[in-house]
Amino acid sequence: MLNQNYLPSWYMSILAKYQAAFESGDIAALNSIIHDEFTFTPHVGDAIMKKEDILAFAGTDTVKTEKHRILFENDDVGVEHAIAHFSNGSTSEAVLSFHRFKDGMIFATETGATPLSDDYKLVGDNN
């Protein structure tokens, strides 16, 4: 199991590399991180996206994410959470992503999400 607390400061996990490359639009880095047989099964619709689809979204304003947290990662799978904002004006979402790795790359991703309303407050937050 990958324990981020005991890794050298220069080490970046697969998911950390993916997050940085996707946000910056670094297509070369994404090509080395995403497996050629990659599939992405989003939480809405019946579409299954491929590597080329992810490369087309990278670095654009189609989807912007923030507050990334890698919840778990080892050599086989990774789980992360982020807040996603969409350029089409749809409601921002809290997104949980499950990734499977193959040959040291992201092979498959599936997401689940909860829409966040503008007036959302954490339970117990009185502000």
Q: What is the pLDDT of residues 2-20, one digit of tens each?
A: 445 554 555 689 999 999 9
Architecture (CATH level 2) of domain 13-115: Roll (3.10)
d(CA 96, CA 117): 17
* DSSP 8-state assignment for residue 31: H
Report the pLDDT averaged over residues 98-126.
Answer: 86
d(CA 24, CA 30): 10
What is the pLDDT at residue 53?
93
Whether residue 37 contacts residue 107, with contact meaning beta carbons closer than 8 Å, is answered with yes
d(CA 109, CA 103): 15
* DSSP 8-state assignment for residue 84: E
Give backbone dihedrals phi and psi of 98, rounded to 5 degrees, phi first: -110, 125
Whether residue 94 contacts residue 81, with contact meaning beta carbons closer than 8 Å, is answered with yes
For residue range 50-63, list pLDDT tens digits in order. 999 999 988 888 88
| Chain CA centroid to CA 76, Å | 16
